[in-house]
Copies of this chain bind each other. A is one copy, B any other.
């Protein structure tokens, strides 16, 4: 059979999972109670399939380094990594068109794409591998293959796929796609046995995708062909990055692969499957990952509860006391707290939307912000001071920079730092500290092989992130940019 290239598509903000999911740290990066992110689980699932030597990821440029970090921890088998990096999210049709063009050009027209959303959960990996095998056979025959999940309840939040004529090995041609139904219709679908959930996973040959796009969505194909022609690639030892050109990407229609292709093509098949699948679409779905106690409560973190029933409480750093509660979801994070009726977990997005409307930081960022060189966490801000914990990855470096209005005091609590302070360059060992006066150019490098963990205390009259003059930056960022260098 032809080459299989799993293609992880990361997109969507996950606003219903606020305050854990935020714009700058969207749902794929959400850590489950076992410590792995949804993205990591997707990576593991994709690279665990037979004959996978290469994995393609289509994601936002902003989260590229974070994605790489998540992968590297798991990528012991040395799967080659391709990235298509979007300057902004468009939609699934442009993303998949770009993936098909890329794969077809580099790895052969008959290579198969296995499209996987980055933020779903699948418990039964054997069933998943079998379903992929079935899908591959159909894909080889020229079908656009979807995965149809046997519904377990009358869900109104998903689209459905109606089975048509039977094909090989328990698979079917797709009769039609149907939009999110109302409750009564959903119940009929479940009872009737003809309908399956559309999970947004696909298996298809690159040339078939391109041919069908040419027929049914030529504007998408043309726009993405143009976009790739204007895009620039970079190749590392194990990684290939293709950074999409923003100007031409902006001209591509903002349309999903379902609308653009699946609902229009006659060559769509479905493999029915039971995978222990969840789209982790709300806190109600997340809570099921934590076992319930005798009162039906599912708790992560320390709690003291009296007469509390059927609540989900997630609080990793703060003690939660509860009295006389029922059917609540309580999610505590360092800078924001969510308390919601568990029956209203879909409406959590209203809060995220309102925060977005206000331009509120709690929509976009967490206390911990990821940068190419590592992370920083604002521990405390007050009048005349700001304290950050800075983690610099081995071999990574912050840009050479200068601030006009603030002193920076650096204390190494773990690892080793190489510091440039004006004309001086010196090593700073664990438990040592130094300070950078206003107006001094400085740079911080981790020359070691373990993470450098530093506490930075800024003091001064003005501590805005925009008081920075950046001289050189190995990550190619623009000279002046808001945000920690």
- Is A379 positioned at the interface, with any CB of B under 8 Å from its CB? yes
Known: A379-B387, A413-B385, A433-B409. A321 touches B306 (CB 8 A): no
Known: A324-B347, A455-B387. A431 touches B411 (CB 8 A): no
Known: A413-B459, A431-B459. A324 touches B351 (CB 8 A): no
Residues in chain B near residue A344, CB distance under 8 A: 307, 323-324
Which single member of B330, B335, B387, B453 contacts A319 (CB below 8 Å)?
B335
Known: A324-B341, A324-B347, A413-B459. A382 touches B389 (CB 8 A): yes
Q: In the bound complex, do residue B306 and residue A351 qualify as a contact, i.e. CB atoms below 8 Å apart?
A: yes
Q: In the bound complex, do residue A18 and residue B321 qualify as a contact, i.e. CB atoms below 8 Å apart?
A: yes
Which among A18, A337, A389 has the greatest number of chain B C-beta atoms within 10 A? A337
Known: A379-B379, A409-B411, A455-B385. A318 touches B336 (CB 8 A): yes
Which single member of B384, B412, B435 contacts A414 (CB below 8 Å)?
B384
CA gap between A320 and B18 in the complex, in Å: 11
CA gap between A379 and B338 in the complex, in Å: 22
- Is A6 positioned at the interface, with any CB of B under 8 Å from its CB? no
Copies of this protein chain in the complex: 2
- Is A295 positioned at the interface, with any CB of B under 8 Å from its CB? no
Contact mask for chain A residues 14-31; partner B; CB cutoff 8 A; 1 contact, 0 none: 000011000000000000
Which single member of B307, B324, B457 contacts A455 (CB below 8 Å)?
B457
CA gap between A389 and B332 in the complex, in Å: 24
Interface range on chain A (Cβ under 8 Å from partner) = 35 or more
CA gap between A432 and B409 in the complex, in Å: 9
Within 8 A of B (CB), among A150-205: none
Q: In the bound complex, do residue B380 and residue A389 qualify as a contact, i.e. CB atoms below 8 Å apart?
A: yes
Residues in chain B near residue A379, CB distance under 8 A: 379-380, 387
Known: A355-B304, A411-B409, A459-B413. A348 touches B335 (CB 8 A): no
Residues in chain B near residue A411, CB distance under 8 A: 385, 409, 435, 457, 459
Which among A341, A382, A389, A455 has the greatest number of chain B C-beta atoms within 10 A? A455
- The smallest C-beta distance from A336 to any residue of chain B, in angstroms, reads 4
CA gap between A30 and B453 in the complex, in Å: 37
Which single member of B407, B414, B433 contacts A431 (CB below 8 Å)?
B407
CA gap between A318 and B320 in the complex, in Å: 15
Q: In the bound complex, do residue B304 and residue A325 qualify as a contact, i.e. CB atoms below 8 Å apart?
A: no
- The smallest C-beta distance from A160 to any residue of chain B, in angstroms, reads 27
Within 8 A of B (CB), among A428-453: 430-433, 435, 453
Q: In the bound complex, do residue B337 and residue A319 qualify as a contact, i.e. CB atoms below 8 Å apart?
A: yes
Q: In the bound complex, do residue B460 and residue A321 qualify as a contact, i.e. CB atoms below 8 Å apart?
A: no
CA gap between A306 and B340 in the complex, in Å: 9
Contact mask for chain A residues 301-320; partner B; CB cutoff 8 A; 1 contact, 0 none: 00010110000000100111
Contact mask for chain A residues 404-416; partner B; CB cutoff 8 A; 1 contact, 0 none: 0001010111100
Contacts A306-B354, A325-B328, A411-B435 known; list 8 others, CB within 8 Å: A318-B334, A322-B351, A323-B338, A323-B340, A339-B339, A379-B387, A383-B414, A385-B411
30 A–B contacts from the bound complex (CB under 8 Å): A306-B347, A306-B351, A318-B335, A319-B335, A319-B360, A320-B337, A321-B336, A321-B348, A321-B351, A321-B355, A322-B340, A323-B338, A323-B344, A323-B347, A323-B348, A323-B350, A324-B340, A325-B341, A337-B337, A379-B379, A382-B413, A383-B414, A384-B453, A385-B455, A411-B459, A430-B459, A432-B435, A433-B433, A433-B457, A457-B457
Q: Which 8 A-B pairs have the closest CB atoms?
A: A324-B341, A324-B344, A321-B351, A323-B340, A385-B413, A319-B336, A413-B459, A411-B457
